[in-house]
Structure 1
């Protein structure tokens, strides 16, 4: 196996980026030739790693895609830092055939073409077009609330209250990929508001991996009128963004949005100490900790709370893995939604720093 465990992380991140690039094509079949150069290069690296150690290797890109779908990443011929990924992590969902959230999180690590950096670049462009932070905040909330516009209605979006916002964000939307069509229908999950598939081997599936009880699918009978944000914005902005909006709604005053990366907000508690926070919904705590440390380093001093849904923090070993992965000099703290929104000891509502 690869001697350098961080080289193993880089290799899996390269494969993840290749899978994301393949899934982002507009072709009717995601597996139609030609394959993206990034995926072919990642295959060459995986094959070289396996041959050096006399281990099985995938046969061509189709074989590697089968590995992504059928094999847990801990079974690949790479060495990873201890506890870097959960034992069942895959890059492609075995039933839906779509990139997993783990795939998106790995694709967000490393080089300049990382998925998170692409999402940040799109938001930075939007922020520049908006000019004012307040206008950007409105547009950002629009994207969070509408990652999938199931039935595009120009009359609704040209009303005075949303017309300016739509003018600024409309170029971020594109038609739904053909592979999401099933018998002339396209589906959206009412839980996460992301794309979904009605029938798989495991039942209904959605991009947000909602609990089964929340996985209610809403169809569109006119898929040609369905518009979607890029996968990077769907998974890295809109998915955690719904939790972020719920948190912000609990406070009396408007939060201060710092247009940094995917967006950071600042709050001030009753003790008068301001604190920055960012909401995430990561499947993998270790990559999340590394990304959080990078965001904290870009802040002008202070600490950063990473707020994560309770059901993730409550997974066995999740918090411990995150805390171990945070670099010693990074002022980052993992906080559950319940912890972050709990009333202050004084009983007074927490104030928002605007």
Structure 2
């Protein structure tokens, strides 16, 4: 994820193919209602009168159902049950074929938390500052570090957001002593918040052993990780526990940063490690995040790679755009984590169908396919083969 994703899926850039469907703006309204309820009252604790966005979503779903001769939800609790129990494809609303996959829910059935699919539709349909807070934070860091000509400060800031989504009071004090983070300290203060009560388990808080975000305790026992990539690998391993002493002043990244910076950032770091295990040096976020990874082969050939960890391949296709050309490279790629394609075998096909014909975006590959291609290129180099250049 780079700054080229700045507005994710701006409404004004939407393909005209989807505009005639009244269900598309309705889906965005629904997603906004779910996210805002989760962030304010919680999805199970609201009372009458309903929040304005939630009431608007309910009214529009009821109208859509009545126009189609379908039974509408009887109230907001019933509507949220739909969000949790019915894939969007099964709703009686008019949606284009690629708007949702067969297993796309707005609310996760296990945790009752908004899904990444929900967040992506929320961001796409919203012009609110809250929906783009993560982009404002990242752009602010780029601007400050550019002005000071401190690329290492930007790299340190991105590394903080990716690898330290939870901080104790002692760790926050430690950060104040890091000279590279000094230019972006006000942005760091805006990026973290006190931990919401929903993450509190019987013995305190527990981080995911894979992505380091806090786990959500489930009512029936066990834990749930909010990152799709972790859940795709099975039950989350229990990571660092935070007992009562540390929990008092514990802070976590705000939800938009966890969802759209930490999550993709973990996929970026995973791909970096895969390239390095193949024997290739990698620079992260070069040129103040012009793209995610700069991979250099022994013959000087350079790959530029942007990781696109998106749940919705159609929205990803509609966001397709050329890769920035500085720092320079010889070939460019978009990489999607393999778990996205395993969950949706039509992922690349849906992406391709929704990519504008004139987008000139780099080709989309899975992370493992891209590393396999890099290993093949290395073997050919070591074997003295002549490699045709694009």
TM-score normalized by the length of structure 2: 0.76
1:65-84 paired onto structure 2 within 5 Å: 65-84=80-99
Unaligned runs of 5+ in 1: 350-354
Greater CA drift, 270-279 or 33-42? 270-279
Contact kept in structure 1, 2:282 and 2:293, CA below 8 Å = no
1:207 aligns with 2:226: yes
1:82-161 paired onto structure 2 within 5 Å: 82-113=97-128, 117-130=132-145, 131=147, 132=149, 134=151, 135-149=153-167, 153-160=171-178
Deviation at 1:239, TM superposition (A): 0.7
Aligned CA distance change for structure 1 residues 237 and 113 (closer, same or farther; 3 Å)? same
Deviation at 1:319, TM superposition (A): 2.0
1:109-258 paired onto structure 2 within 5 Å: 109-113=124-128, 117-130=132-145, 131=147, 132=149, 134=151, 135-149=153-167, 153-160=171-178, 164=182, 167-168=185-186, 169-183=188-202, 185-201=204-220, 203-209=222-228, 210=230, 211-222=233-244, 223-248=247-272, 250=276, 251-252=280-281, 254-255=283-284, 257-258=286-287
| 1:337 match | 367
| 2:334 match | 306
Deviation at 1:309, TM superposition (A): 1.5
Q: How many residues align?
A: 342
Contact kept in structure 1, 2:37 and 2:43, CA below 8 Å = no
Deviation at 1:80, TM superposition (A): 1.7
More helix by share: 2
**Secondary structure of 1:328's aligned partner:** coil
Write the deviation string for residues 216-270 of structure 1: whole angstroms up to 9, x where unpaired. 354322333221112111111111101212334534253453557xx62363765
Contact kept in structure 1, 2:317 and 2:354, CA below 8 Å = yes
Write the deviation string for residues 164-210 of structure 1: whole angstroms up to 9, x where unpaired. 27724122100111222233622321112223123344842110131
Q: Distance in 2 between matches of 1:128 and 1:26?
A: 35
Q: Distance in 2 between matches of 1:213 and 1:137?
A: 31
Q: Distance in 2 between matches of 1:72 and 1:253?
A: 40
Which residue of 321, 328, 331 corresponds with 2:350? 321
Q: Distance in 1 between matches of 2:313 and 2:43?
A: 34
Q: Distance in 2 between matches of 1:55 and 1:334?
A: 39
Deviation at 1:331, TM superposition (A): 2.3
Give 1 or 2 for the bigger CA radius of gyration: 2
**Aligned alpha-carbon RMSD (Å):** 3.3
Greater CA drift, 108-117 or 65-74? 108-117
Deviation at 1:143, TM superposition (A): 0.7
Deviation at 1:321, TM superposition (A): 2.0
Deviation at 1:91, TM superposition (A): 0.8
Q: Distance in 1 between matches of 2:124 and 2:21?
A: 11
Contact kept in structure 1, 2:192 and 2:254, CA below 8 Å = yes
| 1:285 match | 313
Deviation at 1:103, TM superposition (A): 0.9
Aligned CA distance change for structure 1 residues 320 and 60 (closer, same or farther; 3 Å)? same
Contact kept in structure 1, 2:282 and 2:295, CA below 8 Å = no
Q: Distance in 1 between matches of 2:68 and 2:216?
A: 39
Contact kept in structure 2, 1:26 and 1:177, CA below 8 Å = no
